[in-house]
Every structure is written in C-alpha cells, then in structure tokens.
Amino acid sequence: MIERYSLPEMSEIFSDESKFRRYLEIELLATSAHSELGIVPRDHAQVCRDRAPKIDSEFVSAVSERERVTDHDVAAFVDVVQQRIGMPAGAWIHHGLTSSDVVDTAWCWMLRDAAVLIDRALVDFYEVVVLLAEKHRNTVMIGRTHGIHAEPTTFGAKVALWALQLRRDRERLATATQRIGVCKLSGAVGTYSNIDPQIELSVAKALGLTPVPATQVIARDRHAEYLWACASIGTTIETIAVELRHLQRTEVNEVREGFAAGQKGSSAMPHKRNPISSETLTGLSRVLRANLQVGLQDVALWHERDISHSSAERIVLPDSSMLAYYMLRRATKLMTNLEVDSARMIKNLNSSHGVIFSQSVLLALVASAMSRDDAYRLVQELAARAITESCQFRELLAADNRITLSAKQLDEIFDLEKSVKHTNRVFDALASAQS
C-alpha cells in the first residue's frame, strides 16, 4: 500500500521485519515442541532459542541476498536462520515442516492481529456515528428517493441506520476473524507424514490460533471471507460518503465537511470547499471490492496446492487490511468534524411548497370515500401546479371545491412533527443492538 493511505500501526504488522519475526517464532516454537516429544535434543532446542537472530533491516537484507541464490523466499529465510544459530543445533530449524506451514500460519497470525486493529477503529467510528445520530434525533430534513423530495425524515434517523449497518459489519468482521485465526503445521499435502500432530497443537496454543485440517495450504475461503469483511466495511463507509457528498452539493448545502484553518479547497478557485474526504473514501472502497474479487479467485487451487494465490495475496491481504483501517480512521475524523445545517434542511424541505405531504392528502381523500385513482389524479394535478406556479400546495387544496377535507384535517395532514413521530423506532433498534 502506498504511504498516503497507510497508518504506521497497521503497516508494521505487514512489514518484512514483522513477518520474519513471526516466521522465526513459529520455527522456534515448533523446534521446542519437537524437543518435548524427544525428537530434538532439549539442549539443541534451547540453543536455537538463545541464539535466535535479531530480526532487523540487516537480517531482511541477508535473506534477500540469499534468495537470489535459492530463488525461494522461505528456504532463504531458513538458510540464514540456521547459519546464524550455528550447527549442530541450527539443523533442527524447519524440521518436518514445509514452507506453507510457516507462511500460512504467519499470514493467519498477521491477519488476526490486523483484524483486532480494524475492530478497534470500527468501534471508534461506530461510537462517533451514534453520538451524531443522537444529537440530531429530532433534526427534521427532507427524505429523498431517486434524488427527488419524498417525505420528511430526520437526519438522526438517517445516521442511526448507518450505525446499525456498522454493527452488522462488526459482526461480519468477528466471524471472519474467528475463521482466519487458524494455523496448520501438517507438512507436505497436510498428512502429518513427517511431523507429529502434537507439534501443530503446541504451536497453535502458544500463538492463540486454532489448528485446522488442511492440504499443503490453509483453504483460501477463509482469506476470502476476511477480504469480504474488509470490503463490506468499505462499502458501508462509501454509503455514508456518497450521501454526504450529495448533501454537500451547493444546491443542497445541508452538511459540510470540516474545513481546517489554512486548508485550500482548490488550487485555482479560492471559494471552493469540496467534500474531499467523502470522495477519497468512495474511491478507496472500490479497491477493497476489487481485492475481494482476487480473494475469491484465489480459493480454487490445483490439487493439494499451487502458488497462483501467493503473489496476489502479497498485495491484496496487506492492502485491504491497511485500507479498511485507514478508511475507518479517516471516516471517524470526517464525522467528528461534520457540520450539519439544520436551518438549511428546513429551508430545503419547505422549498417544494408542501407537496411532500401528498401521500397523506391522498390517503385522507380515500378515507372520505373517493376512489384511489381519482384521488391520486387530483392530488397529482394540484401538486404539479404548486411546483410550477411556486404556490403553496395546502392553499390550492383549501381553494379547490373537489377537495372535501376540513381545515382541521389539513392541519393534521401538514403537521411536520406528526409526520416524523415514528422515526425514533430506529433508535429503539439501535439501543437494542447496543445492549
């Protein structure tokens, strides 16, 4: 992932040094477990632990140099580790293992830790969204369908629905974290032909992972599910971002992204104040979904393994983790600093001259014994006049002899508070989800 969209705490998980530290720990735990079974001399296992090399940039360079000879990254890693531990103890490193035992277990370990960071960021974002929803529980605005004024709603209800979707994202992430938090140390083709299953159990316990049956590699539907959880989070953020982009349009102007002192909206036009965070988040969500497609294509491998998945995973697994985390942090900042213009919301709601109550008029006429089609056509005619003539829909209704509704009935129909009185039901669902 490019530095622009990387945060250090997540990038560190997938750095070469971090990866090799995990490889080394897996190798050392396996060697120790072998010694418990009497396969590796105890003193040799202890020497391996005591003389284990420091994983730093110099070590990474040494592995890269060795890989030019081996043309195999794990073999190069093992060669360098064995050489630095020294013989005869070093010869026990990687005993009974195949490369995928180390790599796949390390991948799952890294992804499990990445998921923990993503979950923390998800909780932080969720809490900010909930606070915004509560703050604007009663902030009335126009609801739009197809981009056209429909009926009144509240901004709080809109935001609360986002919060509920984030709750579902967290549930999806929790399931994916459990699914990816596994390991395998079962050797070539996964049959434990040259390694005791107890080794796998011992290493899994030490790392807090769950041993699973596998071929030579852990089944990639697990990784695809993790990528789906990341993509789902990104898509929820995009859902929010697209809405905020629309609401920030000049003609709407109901919300605005925070604008810091000294910030410039355009290099050419000083008046510009653009929804740059929302647009950035919309674009990044596309990358997460594209990465999910790669993950799904990585599931089908030849026989007990091939490496068609490997090159792609080196890109999409770290990148999706970093992007999901970055997007959550960026979205949290966006929502924390969001400006909500409630006065503009009311102004926009009133700009359509009251036609937003047309359904209530229709239903009242039907209740007065008019046929639905006749009522619909009549209300449609008067609503169109209100819009084209820029006059109040209610006044047209009161002046039309075909309308048999009383002034009291019209008062009830055009009661804005009544029209949104049930929007609090979404907050009941939100409270239930939090309990």
pLDDT at 260 over 90: no
pTM: 0.94
Residue 432 has pLDDT above 90, yes or no: no
- Name the residue type at position 17: E
Q: Using CA atoms, how far apart are residues 299 and 223, in angstroms rounded to an integer? A: 8
pLDDT at 268: 80
Marked catalytic residue, from 146, 271, 303, 422: 146
Structure confidence at residue 242 as a pLDDT band (50, 70, 90): very high
Whole-number mean pLDDT of the chain? 96
Catalytic residue among 193, 266, 351, 371: 266
- Determine whether 266 is an active site residue: yes
Average pLDDT over residues 310-315: 96
Q: What pLDDT score was predicted for residue 435? A: 58
Query: Which carries the bigger pLDDT value, residue 263 or residue 335?
Result: 335
pLDDT at 341 over 70: yes
Q: Are 109 and 183 in contact (CB under 8 A)?
A: yes
136 as an active site residue: the answer is no
pLDDT at 263: 82
Runs of H (alpha helix) within 248-354? 276-297, 308-336, 342-350
Task: Give the 3-state DSSP-derived string for 45-79, with helices as H, strands as E and coil as C.
Answer: HHHHHHCCCCCCHHHHHHHHHHHHHHCCHHHHHHH
Closest CA to 217 of 113, 79, 115, 310: 310
Under 8 Å CB-to-CB from 398, ≥6 apart: which residues?
407, 410
User: For 120-170, how does the pLDDT look when each residue is reduced to its tens digit (9 = 90+)?
Assistant: 999 999 999 999 999 999 999 999 999 999 999 999 999 999 999 999 999
**Residue 434 pLDDT more than 80?**
no
What residues contact 164, with CB distance under 8 A and at least 6 apart?
A: 426, 429, 430, 433
For 77-86, the pLDDT digits (tens) are 999 999 999 9
Mean pLDDT within 68-83: 96
